[in-house]
Amino acid sequence: MASLLSFSLPKPKIIKASAAATTPSVAVAETLDQKFGRKGIKFYSESAGDVPSVELTVRNGSSVRVRIPDGHVTSYKPKVYWKDDGFEELLHTLPATAKGGIGLVINDVSEPYSKGSLVNTSEWTVKDVDSDSIDALQVELSSTSGTLDITYVVSLYPLSMATAVIVKNNGRKAVNLSSAILSHFKFKKRAGTGIQGLRGCSYCTHPPLSSPFEILSPSEAMKSEDPGWFSFGSEPEKKPGVWTVQDVPITILKNKLSRVYTAPPTERLKGFYNTPPSKYETIDQGRELFFRVIRIGFEEIYISSPGSFSQKYGKDYFICTGPASMLVPVVVNPGEEWRGAQIIEHDNL
Q: Each residue of 312-340: b (16+ CB within 10 Å) or e? A: ebeeebbbbbbbbbbbbbbebeeeeebeb
Burial of 137 (0-12, 13-18, 19+ CB in 10 A): buried
In the structure, what pLDDT confidence band is assigned to residue 46 with cuts at 50, 70 and 90? confident
Over residues 242-271, the pLDDT tens digits come to 999 999 999 999 999 999 999 999 999 998
Q: What percent of the chain has pLDDT over 90?
A: 72
In a domain, 5, yes or no: no
Collapsed DSSP state (helix, strand, coil) of residue 230? helix
Residue 4 falls inside a structural domain: no
Q: In this predicted structure, what is the pLDDT of residue 199?
A: 96
Whether 2 is covered by a domain: the verdict is no
| pLDDT band (50, 70, 90) for residue 134 | confident
- Decide if 28 is inside a domain: yes
Q: Could you please report the per-residue DSSP string of 236-261?
A: PPPPTT--EE--SSEEE-SS-EEEEE
Task: Give the sign of the dihedral formed by CA 89, CA 92, CA 97, CA 99.
Answer: negative
Question: Average of pLDDT values for 71-94?
Answer: 93
| The pLDDT value given to residue 236 | 77
The type of residue at 186 is K
CATH number of the domain that residue 123 is part of: 2.70.98.10
* Alpha-carbon span 1 to 131, nearest angstrom: 5
Is 252 domain-assigned?
A: yes
Report d(CA 323, CA 294) in Å as an integer: 8
pLDDT tens-digit map of 161-194: 999 999 999 999 999 999 999 999 999 999 999 9
Cβ within 8 Å of residue 127, ≥6 positions away = 9, 11, 12, 14, 140, 141, 142, 151
Task: Kindly state whether residue 212 falls inside one of the protein's structural domains.
Answer: yes
Please choose, from the candidates 183, 213, 141, 212, the residue with its C-alpha nearest in 3D space to the C-alpha of residue 342: 183
Q: Is the pLDDT of residue 16 over 90?
A: no
Tell me, yes or no, whether 167 lies in a domain. yes
Phi and psi angles of residue 99, each rounded to the nearest 5 degrees, phi first: -115, 140
Domain that holds residue 83: 15-345
Structural contact between residues 178 and 218, judged by C-beta atoms closer than 8 angstroms: no
User: How far is residue 339 from each of residues 112, 150, 153, measured CA to CA in Å?
Assistant: 24, 10, 11
Confidence band of 349 (pLDDT split at 50, 70, 90): confident
| Amino acid at site 284 | D
Residue 207 has pLDDT above 70, yes or no: yes
> CA-to-CA distance for 191 and 161, rounded, in angstroms?
27
Selected residue with higher pLDDT from 119 and 249: 249
Total domains in the chain come to: 1
Residue 10 lies in a domain: no
In this predicted model, which residue has the larger pLDDT, 2 or 102? Answer: 102
Q: What is the pLDDT of residue 8?
A: 39
Q: Are 52 and 17 in contact (CB under 8 A)?
A: yes
Do 129 and 139 meet the contact criterion of CB atoms below 8 Å apart? Answer: yes
- The one-character DSSP state at 312 is G
Question: Global pTM?
Answer: 0.90
Strand order in the sheet with 125-132: 15-16, 125-132, 136-145, 148-157, 160-169, 337-345, 289-296, 279-284, 193-196, 250-252
What is the model's pLDDT at position 97?
A: 78
